[in-house]
Structure 1
Amino acid sequence: MMIHKLFGERRLTTLNLNLHQTIEKANITKLLFIRHGQTAPIPDTGLDYDRVLTDMGRTQAKRSGEIFGKNLQPYFSPALVSPAPRTMETAQLFLAASTAVVDESDNDSSVEEIEFLPVNSLYDGTQHPKGDLLFQKLGYAPLRDYLENENEQMKDNARLVLGNYAENIIESIIKTIESSTAIENGSNDIEKTLLIAAHAIYLPAAALGVASLLGCDNNSSSSSSLPSPSMEVILSTNTKEVEGYLIDAKNHSVRYLSRD
């Protein structure tokens, strides 16, 4: 399985079973992983965490919601979001544009209320110091550049850092769904999309882990060492701002969603 690129056999069986059972119970058939929008430089605090969206970043978030977000309704509540301000605002603007319903009688609009759950492990800053060193060397690059780097030490560090990140996110997804009010009330008769908003490099790692567990790499030839088309999308794409990966759990496929 492609997930071995991240964390091998570590707790693979348990994560696999729990993820399948949990999303099925909630009738979540799609999982959307999006990157935050364009971000301003580090402010006077000197902290990356405090960076905020630029006007362009806000426009990107709204446009992505209008271009592909609307087609993924309804959304599961809560959405999982990195607590960094730039990611929180991206998710809020994206979902507002995705779920806004215009009342043509009075030109007013209403927004379906989706709760946001800040998940500390979704913030890429939790991966210091090895994560910082990797990013300084490779920058914004496709996931393959990290996981299949010719430098063995860098490759091992990438698989460790990104594997831990992916595992934490999968556990957070399971825990969030299991504890949601919608599940407790049995409100699972409609197929839903779960939104996860996070950061470049780490975002596709989490998507790769989830897609692997949901069988999106099973359409590759058993006699071939090459990844399936779905996995190739995640490995080879350089994730742009407020774009990302849609995992279809029913059809075992992955698509990259773009504003273009």
Structure 2
Amino acid sequence: MPRSSRLLLTLKTAAALLPRRTQRRTLFYGWGGFQGEGASALADAVKATDVRVAYLRHGNTEPNEVDFDRTLTKQGRWQAVAAAKSYGLSLRPFLPTALSSEAPRAVETAQIFLEDAGRDVELVTDRSLYDGTMQPEGSAVFREIGYAPLDFYLKDGRANAVLGDYAENAAARVAATLAGFGQCSRRRTLVVVGHAIYLPAAALFAAEALGCDQKGRSQILGCDTQEAEGYLVEPDGSVSLLRRPR
């Protein structure tokens, strides 16, 4: 079986593993602050496995009338390789499973990154990690604010709701994935590939759930995530930025 085929695995049973959501919507308040079972489920899963989570944004993409169908440009593929050969090496060893949005640009970024940095990692694609699941509200807010640090978005009540829901969905997927693993003999990294402003929202949710301090929050809130870059959240909630060469 070709390596690219072995890397792709669709998660069909994850829904049964997801924690039951509360009736009250998860929102961001100021520095963070979340409610709902998603936060506790993620925290429990991370602490049980002692896994750190790397949230990566996809690389530069070609324009397309259908957002979902956008693919990486030559520059985007280079960015994914550069990410793998720089900070990707420091993330080893990897968990045997990685997560990605179903969007082709995210899948391609994850494949290239894992091919160079992860090796022998199965890539699980998930529709809930695609930012298109948050439309049309997400697009309406993005048209007004554009690419900007997360703290610009959290001043908008609509963005709070959209990003909060996405972040909780991402946390549930991480928790469901980790449920299949016991504590690792060595600390491993779970890679999650997603989209633009949604990615730092997911990272902040995870960091908050794990008890990050103000420095960690500020790093995520104030950073304008670049293509094929992201955030590393440790089991103790500490945060570091993942930067590739430019």
Partner of 2:57: 35
Contact kept in structure 2, 1:5 and 1:159, CA below 8 Å: no
Partner of 2:241: 256
**Equivalent residue in structure 2 for 1:199, among 195, 199, 220:** 195
Partner of 2:114: 95
Partner of 2:163: 162
Structure 2 unaligned spans of 5+ = 1-26
AA aligned to 1:18 is A
State yes or no: 1:237 paired with 2:223: yes
Looking at structure 1, the residues matched to 200 and 185 of structure 2 have their Cα atoms a distance apart, in angstroms, of 29
Partner of 1:208: 204
State yes or no: 1:82 paired with 2:118: no
Looking at structure 2, the residues matched to 5 and 115 of structure 1 have their Cα atoms a distance apart, in angstroms, of 37
AA aligned to 1:257 is L
Looking at structure 2, the residues matched to 49 and 6 of structure 1 have their Cα atoms a distance apart, in angstroms, of 31
Q: 1:126 to 1:208 in 2, by over 3 A?
A: same
AA aligned to 1:19 is L
In the TM superposition, residue 75 of structure 1 has moved relative to its aligned partner by 0.8
Partner of 1:146: 153
In the TM superposition, residue 159 of structure 1 has moved relative to its aligned partner by 0.4
Looking at structure 2, the residues matched to 80 and 5 of structure 1 have their Cα atoms a distance apart, in angstroms, of 28
Contact kept in structure 2, 1:3 and 1:213, CA below 8 Å: no
In the TM superposition, residue 230 of structure 1 has moved relative to its aligned partner by 1.0
Q: 1:243 to 1:210 in 2, by over 3 A?
A: same
- Across the aligned residues of Structure 1 and Structure 2, the Cα RMSD in angstroms comes to 1.8
AA aligned to 1:203 is L
Alignment map for 1:113-132 (pairs within 5 Å): 113-132=120-139
SS in 1 for 2:231: strand
Looking at structure 2, the residues matched to 124 and 5 of structure 1 have their Cα atoms a distance apart, in angstroms, of 22
Equivalent pairs counted in the alignment come to: 219
SS in 2 for 1:37: coil
Normalized against structure 1, the TM-score is what?
0.80
Partner of 1:222: none
In the TM superposition, residue 3 of structure 1 has moved relative to its aligned partner by 5.1
AA aligned to 2:187 is E
Looking at structure 2, the residues matched to 254 and 243 of structure 1 have their Cα atoms a distance apart, in angstroms, of 14
Instruction: Give the number of the structure whose alpha-carbon radius of gyration is greater.
Output: 1
Query: Percent of aligned positions with the same letter in both sequences?
Result: 40
Looking at structure 2, the residues matched to 51 and 91 of structure 1 have their Cα atoms a distance apart, in angstroms, of 15
State yes or no: 1:4 paired with 2:11: no
In the TM superposition, residue 7 of structure 1 has moved relative to its aligned partner by 8.0
SS in 1 for 2:203: helix
State yes or no: 1:63 paired with 2:82: yes
Partner of 1:48: 67
Q: 1:258 to 1:229 in 2, by over 3 A?
A: same
Query: 1:161-201 CA deviation, whole Å, 9 max, x = no partner?
Result: 000001111111111211x3xx2xx5722210010100000
Looking at structure 2, the residues matched to 10 and 255 of structure 1 have their Cα atoms a distance apart, in angstroms, of 24
Looking at structure 1, the residues matched to 44 and 223 of structure 2 have their Cα atoms a distance apart, in angstroms, of 29
SS in 1 for 2:147: coil
In the TM superposition, residue 129 of structure 1 has moved relative to its aligned partner by 1.1
Normalized against structure 2, the TM-score is what?
0.84
